[in-house]
């Protein structure tokens, strides 16, 4: 689900950052369909144009940090 769109972003991140740094990208297939200042704006336009589940919203910024998150917890899992 949306693997193609996410892979497109990762493969073209450097050139996309040059063009759209700081924007929220609306990606469908292997194409940027819009760049927005606000995530809400991108979501509503994507929903209207493509329907839910048919587009990816990605904050465009340099580095892996733009698409990677780390979560920490204090849970100890017994062996």
Q: What are the structural domain ranges in the chain?
A: 3-63
Q: Summarize pLDDT for 14-30 with one digit per residue, the tens.
A: 999 999 999 999 999 99
User: For residue 6, what pLDDT band results from cuts at 50, 70 and 90?
Assistant: very high
pTM of the model: 0.84
Separation CA 41–CA 17 (nearest Å): 19
Question: Residue 10 pLDDT more than 80?
Answer: yes
Candidates 61, 55, 69; CA nearest to 6 is 55
Partners of residue 53 on adjacent β-strands: none
């Amino acid at each position: 689900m949306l693997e193609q769109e996410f892979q497109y972003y990762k493969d073209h991140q450097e050139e996309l950052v040059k063009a759209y740094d700081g924007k929220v990208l609306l990606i469908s297939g292997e194409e940027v369909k819009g760049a927005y200042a606000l995530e809400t704006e991108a979501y509503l336009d994507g929903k209207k144009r493509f329907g839910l589940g048919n587009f990816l919203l990605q904050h465009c910024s340099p580095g892996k940090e733009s698409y990677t998150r780390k979560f920490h917890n204090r849970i100890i899992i017994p062996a």
